[in-house]
């Protein structure tokens, strides 16, 4: 969900912000090698964090061989400052390191299971675990398909479980659940950002190497680059010398920040489990900019090569976006640029690098979504300063984000009209009352839910149905409000971050001729991207 934020922020960056087809700007040589994190920039950061209600942020800039880093605001309220050493959840920026790890394993030639390179089928390595609802897809989807988000599988983030059969979920559990999730297209037809396929690649790497992915990354990337403050496990991060920033949300009603508990990232694995700081990430970006060891020239080429067309923007001439190995590749003012965002329950991450001018920016912060907004605004100022783009030619990222955020935060208020624009007025009564709809429902892909009656938050004479999903990766609630007949709207607030925008989907109770409810069909849709994820029937089992 927030991990890509279903790549909320990435889609913004691509859809709104990448200005292509423009005349390339001259590289501003006067700014080369100078520390851009000035007092004026610090003032701009303070204003931006306050406007977007972000407690703290760390940023690092790579310019050639130099690295500049600073922390702003607070890692933990009320008074623990953010510093360059502060640890943050890196979220989906993990994907690039997962893909680079696999590229190194392929390039090494040491693993017979990877002899066919990126054309290796996933089922040839984890045959018993990797099963999809389409037999052809199961047998033919390759490592390249998975790393490029072109498998035909939608996100299905709400199916990610933290606990499976009473035990902590592992990547293997996520992979084995794919057989229970609907595909939305044939493979290789459409780009569809999917965390579960990077978790699948994690399982592939662990199967091939016989090691935990965190150890493989440490061996192949972190240790060679001296990234000693990068972790793949929450407990390891909490035990580290440097502090892990706490996550927050802004409580508009109370006018203060609320704290969000730390989130276990075990089952996310290669899709988003890294916890790190901007200093370590600057080492990673510097390696990419200079095509340096521990990667060979062939692997660096592999990392940067476009593999799948992600987005075309007809309203911005000549604009295309492609997906490489965990990176979005595009152009900005004639300069090749690689970008990836990340978002979790209370954190945001943004990474950018421009290989032609050996320049990169890393930013981490501690709110969901608004962190990414602040990071984008600040990073793009640094990038445009570095490129010497005149003020009157600069794009207003703040205004675009504000427009997007206003839409995002108000969408739930219009949810009924969005999902049921032609509903009867007055609405039809439900076939059965809410009391009879209570009970346990089950779908093998999305798990077990227990619906119970609750009072409507605004109407004393009306009941709703509610279930808490504490066992899921992103702990959420399902609040079912009656619309008309057997059709309902299902609101999906996060249990641990009430400040995050509320997603919503359509639901329909299936009623037998004798009046007995037999199931709840949910039409899963990613509200941010408007991508259909498929209809899922939770069968009533009690």
Nearest Cα to Cα of residue 443 among 107, 177, 64: 177
**For 34-62, what is each residue's pLDDT tens digit?**
999 999 999 999 999 999 999 999 999 99
- Segments forming the whole domain that contains residue 169: 100-209
* 436 and 494 together in one domain: yes
**For 124-139, what is each residue's pLDDT tens digit?**
999 999 999 999 999 9
Nearest Cα to Cα of residue 340 among 193, 499, 144, 527: 193
Look up tokens 């209600």; give the residue. 53
Nearest Cα to Cα of residue 66 among 344, 495, 360: 360
* 394 and 296 together in one domain: yes
As a 3-state breakdown, the chain gives helix, strand, coil percent values, each rounded to 5, of: 35, 30, 40
* 116 and 26 together in one domain: no
pLDDT given for residue 19 in this prediction: 36
Domain membership of residue 222 (yes or no) is no
Q: In this predicted model, which residue has the larger pLDDT, 139 or 411?
A: 139
Q: Percent of the chain at pLDDT above 70?
A: 93
Please, which residues have CB within 8 angstroms of residue 144's CB and are 6 or more apart in sequence? 118, 119, 307
pLDDT given for residue 179 in this prediction: 98
Instruction: Dig out the tokens for 92 from the structure.
Output: 């989906």
Q: Side by side, which strands form the sheet with 348-354?
A: 80-81, 66-76, 56-63, 359-365, 348-354, 335-343, 328-332, 320-323, 308-312
* 425 and 477 together in one domain: yes
Nearest Cα to Cα of residue 101 among 205, 3, 171: 205
The answer to whether the beta carbons of residues 31 and 386 sit under 8 Å apart is yes
pLDDT at 6 over 70: no
Domain membership of residue 217 (yes or no) is no
Number of structural domains the chain divides into = 3
The answer to whether the beta carbons of residues 300 and 288 sit under 8 Å apart is yes
Where b means 16+ CB within 10 Å and e means fewer, 335-347 reads bebbbbbbbbbbb
DSSP state of 17: I
pLDDT given for residue 460 in this prediction: 77
pLDDT given for residue 16 in this prediction: 38
pLDDT given for residue 404 in this prediction: 87
pLDDT at 311 over 70: yes
Q: In this predicted model, which residue has the larger pLDDT, 306 or 528?
A: 306
Stretch among 6-15, 157-166, 315-324, 427-436 having the lowest mean pLDDT: 6-15
pLDDT given for residue 317 in this prediction: 29
CATH number at residue 419: 2.40.128.600
Please, which residues have CB within 8 angstroms of residue 254's CB and are 6 or more apart in sequence? none
pLDDT given for residue 240 in this prediction: 98
CATH number at residue 380: 3.40.710.10
Domain membership of residue 127 (yes or no) is yes
pLDDT at 174 over 50: yes
pLDDT given for residue 7 in this prediction: 47
Instruction: Dig out the tokens for 99 from the structure.
Output: 């893909």
Using pLDDT thresholds of 50, 70 and 90, give the confidence band for residue 8.
very low
pLDDT at 331 over 60: yes
pLDDT given for residue 433 in this prediction: 93
Partners of residue 352 on adjacent β-strands: 339, 361
pLDDT given for residue 29 in this prediction: 55
pLDDT given for residue 33 in this prediction: 73
Domain membership of residue 520 (yes or no) is yes
Domain membership of residue 219 (yes or no) is no
pLDDT given for residue 457 in this prediction: 87
Domain membership of residue 130 (yes or no) is yes
**For 422-480, what is each residue's pLDDT tens digit?**
999 999 999 999 999 999 999 999 999 999 999 998 887 889 999 999 999 999 999 99
Domain membership of residue 3 (yes or no) is no
pLDDT at 24 over 80: no
* 45 and 188 together in one domain: no
Q: Where are the alpha helices (DSSP H) in 305-454?
A: 370-387, 397-410, 415-419, 434-437
Q: Is 121 helix (H, G, I), strand (E, B) or coil?
A: strand
pLDDT given for residue 21 in this prediction: 35
**For 98-107, what is each residue's pLDDT tens digit?**
999 999 999 9
Domain membership of residue 442 (yes or no) is yes
pLDDT given for residue 73 in this prediction: 99
Given 161, 180, 209, which residue is the final one in a domain?
Answer: 209
**For 183-205, what is each residue's pLDDT tens digit?**
999 999 999 999 999 999 999 99
* 430 and 463 together in one domain: yes
């Amino acid at each position: 969900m927030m991990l890509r934020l279903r790549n909320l922020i990435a889609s913004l960056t691509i859809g709104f912000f990448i200005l292509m087809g423009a005349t390339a700007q001259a590289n501003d040589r006067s700014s080369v090698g100078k520390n851009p994190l000035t007092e004026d920039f610090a003032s701009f950061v303070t204003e931006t964090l306050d406007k977007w209600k972000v407690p703290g942020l760390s940023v690092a800039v790579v310019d050639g061989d130099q690295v500049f880093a600073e922390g702003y605001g607070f890692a933990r309220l009320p008074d623990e400052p953010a510093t360059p050493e502060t640890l943050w959840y890196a979220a989906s920026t993990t994907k690039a390191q997962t893909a680079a790890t696999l590229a190194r394993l392929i390039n090494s030639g040491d693993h017979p299971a990877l002899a066919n390179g990126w054309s290796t089928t996933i089922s040839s390595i984890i045959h018993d675990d990797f099963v999809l609802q389409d037999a052809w897809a199961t047998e033919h989807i390759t490592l390249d398909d998975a790393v490029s988000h072109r498998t035909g599988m939608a996100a299905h983030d709400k199916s990610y479980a933290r606990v499976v059969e009473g035990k902590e979920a592992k990547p293997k559990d996520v992979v084995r659940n794919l057989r229970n999730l609907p595909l939305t297209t044939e493979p290789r037809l459409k780009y569809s950002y999917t965390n579960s396929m990077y978790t699948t690649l994690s399982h592939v790497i662990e199967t091939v190497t016989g090691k935990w992915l965190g150890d493989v990354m440490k061996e192949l990337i972190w240790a060679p680059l001296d990234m000693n403050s990068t972790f793949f496990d929450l407990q390891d991060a909490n035990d580290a010398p440097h502090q892990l920033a706490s996550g927050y949300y802004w409580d508009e009603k109370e006018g203060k920040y609320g704290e969000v508990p730390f989130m276990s990232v075990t089952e996310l694995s290669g899709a988003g489990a890294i916890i790190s700081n901007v200093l370590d990430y600057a080492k990673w970006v510097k390696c990419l900019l200079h095509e340096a060891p521990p990667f060979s020239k062939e692997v660096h080429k592999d990392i940067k090569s476009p593999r799948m067309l992600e987005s075309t923007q007809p309203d911005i001439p000549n604009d295309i976006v492609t997906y490489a190995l965990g990176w979005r590749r595009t152009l900005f003012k004639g300069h090749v640029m690689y970008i990836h965002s990340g978002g979790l329950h209370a954190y945001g991450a943004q990474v950018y690098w421009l290989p032609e001018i050996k320049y990169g920016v890393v930013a981490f912060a501690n709110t969901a979504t608004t962190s990414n907004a602040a990071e984008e605004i600040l990073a793009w100022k640094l990038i445009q300063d570095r490129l010497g783009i005149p003020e009157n030619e600069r794009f207003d990222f703040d205004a675009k984000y504000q427009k997007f955020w206003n839409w995002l935060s108000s969408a739930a208020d219009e949810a009924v009209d969005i999902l049921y624009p032609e509903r009867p007025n007055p609405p039809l009564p439900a076939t059965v009352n809410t009391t009879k709809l209570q009970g346990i429902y089950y779908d093998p892909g999305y798990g077990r839910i227990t619906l119970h009656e609750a009072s409507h938050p605004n109407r004393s004479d009306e009941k709703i149905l509610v279930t808490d999903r504490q066992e899921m990766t992103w702990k959420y609630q399902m609040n079912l409000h009656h619309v008309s007949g057997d059709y309902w709207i299902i609101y999906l607030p996060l249990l641990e971050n009430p400040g995050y925008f509320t997603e919503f989907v359509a639901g329909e109770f299936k009623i037998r001729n004798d009046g007995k409810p037999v199931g709840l069909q949910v039409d899963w849709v990613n509200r941010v991207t408007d991508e259909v994820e498929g209809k899922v029937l939770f069968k009533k089992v009690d």
